[in-house]
Amino acid sequence: MADQAITSLSNYLRGNIRSLEQSTPVPFEQELNHIKYYVRLEQLRYGDKLRVVYAIDHTDFEVPTLSLQTLVENAIRHGVSPKPEGGLVVVQTEKGEHCSIVRIIDNGVGFDPDMQSHNADSIGLANARKRMEAMMNAHFDVQSIPGQGTTITITIPDSKRKAIL
């Protein structure tokens, strides 16, 4: 177990360091690998209380580096971990008509969307939204119900990304 923790931590940190040099979007699969390293570390921490499912049907698109990992981290930290019994996080992708669709779903504690803009914990969510919109011309939708969970849906047009001047 210690070997697994060290390997996951070193891969996770290596990905974070690489992201500091990355100003353009990365392939989704690269971001997914980074998510998996992060999740392995959290599963060592939470054990059976944290379940994560990857429903990946489409991978041929790009995302800003660390953007989806931030959303998965929020789902675990602010959605699932406050529940005594833990919960489930689903990372889902699919090919839409002229777009790629990514969903981060959790059955955690949820939140009142009207209160979210006043919450310090929403900084990561707001940052991910701004980066997705600015770099990818993506549509970012957050649906949350207190006591039931949160679904974040990101729709990325096939036109890939906005030209960065």
d(CA 163, CA 3): 43
The pLDDT assigned to 122 comes to 72
Q: Where are the beta strands (DSSP E) in 11-162?
A: 26-27, 50-56, 62-63, 87-96, 99-106, 139-145, 149-157
The pLDDT assigned to 142 comes to 94
The pLDDT assigned to 165 comes to 38
C-alpha closest to that of 32 among 5, 53, 3, 4: 53
The pLDDT assigned to 124 comes to 82
Using DSSP's 3-state secondary structure scheme, residue 103 falls into strand
pLDDT in tens, the chain (165 residues): 656 655 555 555 555 455 556 678 999 999 999 999 999 999 999 999 999 999 999 999 999 999 999 999 999 999 999 999 999 999 999 999 999 999 999 999 998 876 655 455 578 889 999 999 999 999 999 999 999 999 999 999 997 545 443
Residue 32: HSE in the Cβ half-sphere, 13 Å Cα cutoff: 20
Task: Give the chain's domains with CATH numbers.
Answer: 2-157 (3.30.565.10)
Strand partners, 54: 91
